C-alpha cells in the first residue's frame, strides 16, 4: 500500500503514525519484522521518522478477496486508491452468502473497480438502496472497522412512513435480536444487542412523511425494527409492516468520515430528487 504522509504526521515515526491510525497489533508486529517498508524509494525500518510529503510503501502480502467478478458494472460515487463508496441498487445483496453467487454488489464491484482486494465496511439490507463504503486494502479495512466501532463514521438514512404528521426528533435506544418465533425477523427485546437510532427530523409530503435518520449502531434490520416498534413501519416493508405494492422506502442517504490516510473529510450523499 502506497501513501503520502499528511502534515498531521510530520516528525512522527511511521510506527507511531500507524498506531494513531489504529492499525491492529498483529499487523504492527508483522510490519515490525518486515524488511520491505520503503520510504522515498529506500528500504527503511518501522521506527523511521517521517516528514510531510514523504512517500511510504508498505508490503502487500495479503490474500485477494474471494468474490467472483460478475462482469456487470456498478455505480461508483467516490473512489481513491484506498476505498470507494458505491451505490447499492434495491434488490441486490451486499455480498454473496454462497460461493456460487455472483449477482451481488461485491461481485459487480470487484469487476468494476478491477482490484484484487475489496471488502464492505458495513452492509445494507437487500431491499435497501443507497451508499455503501468498501475498503480496497486489508489495512484500510481494519482502520475503517475501528472507526465504525468508535462511531466515527456518520451514516444517515431516509425512511418514508405512512403518516401525515411530523415526527419529532428523538432517539430510539432499544436492544434488537433475532426473533425466535419468526424466521428472518428481528425484534426489540431486553436480551438483544444495543441498538441506537436517532431520528433527526421529518418532512410531510402529500401521501407520507419522510424521516431523516442517523445510525449510531448497525444491527440487522435496525431501522425497520425500531420504526415498527414505535408504530411507524417503513412503507413497502412486507416483513415488518403490511402487504403493499410499493418497494421498500428506505434509503442509505449519506456517509461522512475523516479519511484514514489523507485525513480529509469525505462526504458522499445521494441526490434527494432521485430517491
Which residues are marked as active site?
Answer: 125
Beta carbons within 10 angstroms of residue 111's beta carbon: 19
* Count helices and strands in the chain by DSSP H and E runs: 5, 16
The answer to whether 24 touches 142, Cβ cutoff 8 Å, is yes
Encode 154-175: b = buried (16+ Cβ within 10 Å), e = exposed.
ebbbbbbbbeeeebeeeebebb
d(CA 137, CA 113) in angstroms, rounded, equals 13
Q: Which residues contact 6 (CB under 8 A, 6 or more apart)?
A: 52, 261, 262, 263
Amino acid at each position: 500500500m502506497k501513501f503520502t504522509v499528511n502534515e498531521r504526521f510530520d516528525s512522527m515515526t511511521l510506527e507511531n503514525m500507524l498506531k494513531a491510525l489504529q492499525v491492529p497489533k498483529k499487523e504492527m508486529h508483522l510490519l515490525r519484522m518486515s524488511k520491505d517498508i520503503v520510504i522515498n524509494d529506500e528500504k527503511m525500518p518501522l521506527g523511521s521518522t517521517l516528514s510531510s510529503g514523504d512517500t511510504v510503501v508498505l508490503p502487500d502480502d495479503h490474500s485477494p478477496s474471494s468474490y467472483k467478478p460478475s462482469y456487470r458494472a456498478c455505480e461508483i460515487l467516490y473512489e481513491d486508491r484506498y476505498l470507494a463508496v458505491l451505490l447499492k441498487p434495491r434488490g441486490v445483496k451486499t455480498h454473496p452468502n454462497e460461493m456460487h453467487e455472483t449477482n451481488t454488489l461485491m461481485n459487480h464491484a470487484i469487476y468494476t473497480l478491477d482490484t484484487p482486494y475489496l471488502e464492505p465496511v458495513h452492509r445494507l439490507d437487500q431491499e435497501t438502496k443507497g451508499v455503501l463504503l468498501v475498503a480496497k486494502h486489508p489495512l484500510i479495512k481494519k482502520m475503517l472497522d475501528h472507526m465504525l466501532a468508535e462511531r466515527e463514521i456518520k451514516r444517515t438514512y431516509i425512511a418514508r412512513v405512512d403518516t401525515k404528521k411530523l415526527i419529532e426528533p428523538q432517539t430510539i435506544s432499544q436492544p434488537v435480536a433475532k426473533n425466535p418465533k419468526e424466521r428472518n425477523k428481528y425484534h426489540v427485546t431486553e436480551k438483544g444487542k444495543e441498538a441506537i437510532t436517532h431520528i433527526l427530523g421529518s418532512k410531510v409530503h402529500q401521501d407520507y412523511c419522510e424521516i431523516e435518520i442517523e445510525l449510531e449502531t448497525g444491527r440487522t434490520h435496525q431501522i425497520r425494527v425500531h420504526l415498527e416498534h414505535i408504530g411507524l413501519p417503513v412503507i413497502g416493508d412486507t416483513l415488518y409492516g403490511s402487504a403493499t405494492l410499493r418497494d421498500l422506502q428506505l434509503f442509505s442517504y449519506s456517509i461522512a468520515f475523516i479519511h484514514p490516510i489523507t485525513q480529509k473529510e469525505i462526504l458522499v450523499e445521494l441526490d434527494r430528487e432521485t430517491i
